[in-house]
Amino acid sequence: METTRIGTRGSALALAQAHETRARLMAAHGLGEAAFEVVPISTSGDRIQDRPLSEAGGKGLFTKEIEEALLDGRIDMAVHSSKDMPTQLPEGLELACFLPREDPRDAFIGRSVARIADLPHGVMVGSSSLRRQALIRRMRPDLQVVMFRGNVQTRLRKLAEGQVEGTLLAHAGLRRLGLEHVITDLLALEDFPPAPGQGAICIEVCSGNQRVADLLAPIHDAATGAALACERAFLAALDGSCRTPIAGYARTDGNHLEFSGLIITPDGTVWHEITASGAVGDAAGIGRAAGTEIRAKAAPGFFDGWS
């Protein structure tokens, strides 16, 4: 049988996600490891460590080289963290599969205290996410929030060295790496809403590749796919990228979908929230309408300087 090549970033978390995908494919089709090759690919987002990604080009820096490999035929599918995916994909590519979603919450890891609320006045907290930075500032305006780049292990090392007193990481990623024990607090969705796509693995393919589509069909999770269609449509309606502090989370219950979204200024002082619901079959429409409505609610200058 033809070997299927699975492209991925080379970080420990990205590799864990690619191996989870391979394991699910092996189980679904009764195939051995030799049927699937995991192909690590270095991306610009991994190499740029000296400045925020929002200044260097945004989310596409984590996908550009992998998508080029897909289009060139060097790989057959690409495994991504859904929250890293731009809302506009290159022509000829599509998201064909979503794996069952992990817990979407953010996790706080404190060096000397367990919760953000317990941090001493004015200490430094590190995060590379503009959404997390803004939400920390909303919760604790007195804290110094600093840019904190690097993979999970790098950030945990910097924390242990005392460069900051706390940091935030996705609960899902820590679980996938077997690092759940480092978490000191899990942040409630109501207080700290997640990034669109957080906790969900997506698989990108070339449009029209029926062999790969047939391989992926049995491992696709329809509920996660519907939730992500809603969240990504919300993001697209707001022109969301790494430059914009946006949160959005959808959940399904049978044929019903509930969505909540938030936009917030980077300094954490002004925000707008929205909720919406409807049929799962209209997931993208619900997200798009929510994005349009919340944009209209914001003052004309709300988005100035975001892009």
Residue 66 near residue 205 (C-beta atoms within 8 A): no
46 an active-site residue? no
The answer to whether the Cα torsion of 48, 16, 38, 4 is positive or negative is negative
Residue 283 near residue 229 (C-beta atoms within 8 A): yes
The answer to whether the Cα torsion of 40, 81, 220, 93 is positive or negative is negative
Amino acid (1-letter code) at residue 268: G
> Which of 46, 50, 72, 84 is an active site residue?
84
Which spans in the chain are helix H?
12-29, 44-47, 53-56, 64-72, 130-139, 152-160, 171-176, 210-216, 222-237, 283-297
> d(Cα 58, Cα 74) in Å, to the nearest integer?
24
The answer to whether the Cα torsion of 155, 158, 159, 160 is positive or negative is positive
> d(Cα 241, Cα 258) in Å, to the nearest integer?
23
- Phi, psi at residue 209, to the nearest 5°? -85, 95
Nearest to residue 259, comparing CAs of 196, 302, 198, 200? 196
> d(Cα 51, Cα 36) in Å, to the nearest integer?
36
**What's the maximum distance between 2 C-alpha atoms anywhere in the chain?**
61
Q: What amino acid positions are annotated as catalytic residues? A: 84
